[in-house]
Structure 1
């Protein structure tokens, strides 16, 4: 079975698009980072290394310190798929992040985005 192309893409190549999407809607890079850290358990130092080393998405998620225990609360449609129904675990994690960034860009409060 062929791996999806995004699995081997550098996270650093997509990260600016997340920031751009958020900033177009009046949100900040710090908001994007907060979401990424909440979802993955990374801290700022580790995250800077990921960007500098051009770590791919597969490694980014496989080596994440701890996927947030509230990810099961992330539901809805992203790219035409219900995130809770995506069977590939890695693709599901990527889509969780996409969904959270979409919610940020749509103006949801951080409390709702972070499922607190």
Structure 2
């Protein structure tokens, strides 16, 4: 059975990501940088996906996942992201984990796995 999040639009969840990071003193621009780093989309493409109501399934289906994404480890909602078996769910969890790290004040170079 397909998980409900797969058919949810990214635009429906995006405002929650924005409010989560802004509550912790981070910016929407930083959030967008994290999303574009993970997916390979540029700012314009991200905006188009949000405007078009693209589902998570299609959003990640057309993404060019950053090769460093496999370095994203840890737990989101009690689930270890590196142990998620469904590839799409794992990509969604990668995004959740990056948003969490950003909101927790982790330096951007660490969030983006550049150091």
Q: Provide TM-score, normalisation by structure 1.
A: 0.97
Paired with 1:72 and 1:49, the residues of 2 have a C-alpha distance of 26
Q: After the TM superposition, which parts of structure 1 deviate over 2 Å for at least 4 consecutive aligned residues? A: none
Q: How many pairs align?
A: 114
Secondary structure of residue in 1 paired with 2:105: coil
Paired with 2:33 and 2:57, the residues of 1 have a C-alpha distance of 20
Paired with 2:39 and 2:31, the residues of 1 have a C-alpha distance of 12
Secondary structure of residue in 2 paired with 1:108: coil
Secondary structure of residue in 1 paired with 2:16: helix
Q: 1:70 is matched with which residue?
A: 68
Q: 1:60 is matched with which residue?
A: 59
Q: How far is 1:69 from its partner? A: 0.4
Please tell me the root mean square deviation across aligned C-alpha atoms, in Å: 0.5
Match of 2:96 among 78, 98, 106: 98
The 5 Å alignment of 1:5-84 reads 5-64=4-63, 66-84=64-82
Paired with 1:103 and 1:49, the residues of 2 have a C-alpha distance of 25
**Structure 2 segments unaligned to the other structure (5+ residues):** none
Match of 1:87 among 85, 88, 99: 85
Paired with 2:48 and 2:33, the residues of 1 have a C-alpha distance of 17
Q: How far is 1:36 from its partner? A: 0.2
Paired with 1:11 and 1:83, the residues of 2 have a C-alpha distance of 19
Paired with 1:17 and 1:33, the residues of 2 have a C-alpha distance of 13
Q: Provide TM-score, normalisation by structure 2.
A: 0.98
